């Protein structure tokens, strides 16, 4: 049975004003108003050429696979910019105070993405020294960045301080180290205090962070003592509060609850004399990975949060803070697809057929980690009737290296290119060299052009940091 969501989406594009330029294989721009990108299964520029082969950003996917090799991460610039503008415009429309969306770069960190989101007026959320360095070298101003983390090193704290990055204080250890590290008579460090709001939401246990049993943030009963502790510290300037309730969330009510909890914390902080201007509600909006997923739109998510924060602050007679949010997955996931080449197959009569591709858990660990689901098509036969059900498996030495279970596909042959959708988030960033397999290349597509944004690792890259002790070299 065909995936009606993707097929109807492609059909829409073929019927649209883009159809003539698509047929002529000319550059085109997608309509950002078609739908909130996080609700699409495919990038917003997805379409078919005259022979019904899949294209993204005006580039034929099977040609990209041939040119750059597989596995290959493909990112669509138009989808990325559409998602950025959806957040920015929704904040401007629904929140009467100042606002700043921050890209949660843990979803996918690169020089290109840092540069792109900076050009769209975003800030950035980093969780390590290397994520900060990547963002800074990509052109993201330090004053538009925050540093998260539950176990920050001295190196990370100093790097943030020296580059005007706001440090999100997660625990007492952060405060103790900062008090030692900040030089006397130097400008104070800009701090944002993170606390757990005690709000549950329906998502995977590993990506729930707002409930009380979490490794992140101060507990609610620690909030007042910590705020009092910081009042007269010359090295500290508390400018914001932060809370985050999880990831891949489809519910809106927990975000309304969060606004009330954060408004109470804001009132407490200001009453104690802290110049808190920023209220950071985190991210967490989900995306559509499979047809049955039904996330809210970016606009709906922002409107609920903006209205809730506005109401909560006004009911407490509080000046509206600058509203910060941290979209990651909902910004980049749908913009990405991963291309694989089909290799071997194994059929066990009356049991199952395994179709193996040239990647797997090293370039996408989410299925084996979170039991995540995806949608996939053949790049050059996306509309062909599926006549077999297979397990699409990786090449790694793990029985659990299964990318998609019970996937309906046309009969595949060795060399076919498989497209897995919505892989722009937590695929490249969580990739590994398991089995000593090099990480894939990544390309950015736009207006019929493809540009390399991440080189494919080579075997020599994996050996670069190995050191063979001299005494081993002397053995015959």
Question: Which domains are present in the chain?
Answer: 78-332 (3.20.20.10)
Q: Are the CB atoms for 367 and 361 separated by under 8 Å? A: yes
d(CA 18, CA 448): 13
Q: Is the pTM of this model over 0.85?
A: yes
- Could you give the C-alpha distances from 10 to 22, 55, 150, 275, 444, in angstroms and in order? 12, 10, 43, 51, 21
d(CA 320, CA 198): 23
Q: Are the CB atoms for 334 and 82 separated by under 8 Å? A: no
Spatial CA neighbour of 322 closest among 146, 201, 83? 146
d(CA 367, CA 407): 14
Q: Are the CB atoms for 46 and 9 separated by under 8 Å? A: yes
Q: Are the CB atoms for 325 and 69 separated by under 8 Å? A: no
pLDDT at residue number 200 = 59
- Burial call 425-452: b when 16+ CB within 10 Å, e when fewer: bbbbbbbeebeebbbbbbbbbbeeebee
Structural tokens at position 51: 């022979």
Structural tokens at position 72: 């290959």
d(CA 379, CA 416): 8
Query: Where is 242: in which H helix or E strand?
Result: strand 236-242
Cross-strand partners of 207: none
* Cβ-based burial of 472 (10 A; exposed 0-12, middle 13-18, buried ≥19): exposed
Active-site residue, selected from the candidate residues 59, 84, 325, 397: 397
pLDDT at residue number 202 = 46
Q: Are the CB atoms for 337 and 423 separated by under 8 Å? A: yes
Per-residue confidence in pLDDT tens, the chain, 476 aa:
234 455 555 554 444 333 333 333 333 344 555 569 999 999 999 999 999 999 999 999 999 999 999 999 999 999 999 999 999 999 999 999 999 999 999 999 999 999 999 999 999 999 999 999 999 999 999 999 999 999 999 999 999 999 999 999 999 999 999 999 999 999 999 999 999 987 754 443 433 444 466 788 899 899 999 999 999 899 999 999 999 888 899 999 988 899 999 999 999 999 999 999 999 999 999 999 999 999 999 999 999 999 999 999 999 999 999 999 999 999 999 999 999 999 999 999 999 999 999 999 999 999 999 999 999 999 999 999 999 999 999 999 999 999 999 999 999 999 999 999 999 999 999 999 999 999 999 999 999 999 999 999 999 999 999 999 988 887 66
Cβ partners under 8 Å of residue 280, min gap 6? 102, 146, 168, 192, 240, 241, 242, 243, 324, 325, 326
Q: Are the CB atoms for 148 and 168 separated by under 8 Å? A: yes
d(CA 88, CA 115): 16
Q: Are the CB atoms for 424 and 333 separated by under 8 Å? A: yes
Q: How many CB atoms lie within 10 A of CB 171?
A: 18
Structural tokens at position 328: 């990651």
Q: How many CB atoms lie within 10 A of CB 106?
A: 19
* Cβ-based burial of 251 (10 A; exposed 0-12, middle 13-18, buried ≥19): middle
Q: Are the CB atoms for 323 and 359 separated by under 8 Å? A: no
Q: Would you call 59 a catalytic residue per the annotation?
A: no
């Amino acid at each position: 049975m065909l995936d009606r969501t993707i097929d109807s989406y492609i059909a829409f594009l073929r019927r649209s004003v883009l159809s003539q330029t698509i047929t002529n294989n000319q550059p085109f721009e997608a309509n950002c108003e078609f739908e909130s990108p996080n609700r699409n299964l495919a990038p917003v520029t997805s379409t078919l050429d005259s022979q019904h082969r899949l294209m993204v950003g005006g580039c034929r996917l099977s040609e990209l696979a041939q040119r750059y090799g597989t596995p290959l991460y493909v990112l669509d610039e138009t989808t990325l910019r559409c998602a950025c503008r959806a957040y920015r415009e929704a904040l401007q429309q629904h929140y009467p105070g100042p606002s700043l969306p921050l890209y949660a770069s843990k979803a996918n960190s690169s020089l290109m993405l840092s540069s792109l989101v900076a050009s769209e007026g975003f800030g950035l959320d980093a969780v390590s020294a290397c994520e900060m360095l990547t963002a800074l070298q990509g052109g993201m101003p330090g004053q538009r960045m925050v540093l998260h983390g539950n176990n920050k090193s001295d190196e990370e704290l100093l790097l943030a301080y020296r580059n005007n990055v706001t440090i999100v204080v997660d625990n007492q250890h952060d405060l103790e180290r900062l008090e030692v590290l900040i030089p006397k008579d130097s400008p104070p460090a800009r701090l944002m205090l993170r606390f757990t709001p005690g709000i549950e939401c329906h998502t995977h246990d590993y990506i729930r962070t707002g409930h009380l049993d979490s490794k992140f943030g101060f507990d609610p009963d620690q909030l007042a003592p910590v705020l009092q502790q910081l009042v007269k510290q010359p090295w500290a300037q508390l400018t914001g509060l932060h809370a985050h309730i999880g990831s891949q969330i489809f519910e809106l009510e927990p975000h309304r609850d969060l606004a009330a909890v954060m408004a109470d914390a804001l009132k407490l902080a200001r009453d104690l004399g802290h110049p808190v201007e920023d209220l950071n509600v985190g991210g967490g909006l989900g995306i559509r990975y499979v047809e049955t997923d039904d996330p809210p739109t970016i606009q709906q998510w922002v409107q609920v949060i903006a209205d809730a924060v506005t109401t909560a602050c006004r009911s407490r007679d509080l000046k509206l803070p600058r509203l910060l949010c941290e979209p990651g997955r909902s910004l980049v996931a749908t913009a990405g697809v991963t291309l694989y080449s089909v290799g071997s197959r194994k059929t066990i009569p009356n049991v199952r057929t395994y179709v193996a591709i040239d990647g797997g858990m090293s370039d996408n660990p989410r299925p084996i980690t979170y039991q995540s689901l995806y949608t996939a098509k053949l790049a050059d036969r996306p509309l062909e009737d599926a006549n077999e059900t297979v397990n699409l498996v990786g090449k790694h030495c793990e029985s659990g290296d299964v990318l998609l279970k019970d996937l309906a596909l046309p009969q595949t042959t060795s060399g076919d290119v498989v497209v897995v959708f919505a892989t722009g988030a937590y695929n490249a960033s969580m990739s590994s060299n398991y089995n000593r397999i090099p990480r894939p290349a990544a390309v950015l597509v736009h207006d019929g052009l493809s540009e390399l944004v991440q080189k494919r690792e080579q075997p020599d890259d994996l050996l670069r940091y190995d050191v063979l002790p001299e005494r081993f070299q002397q053995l015959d």
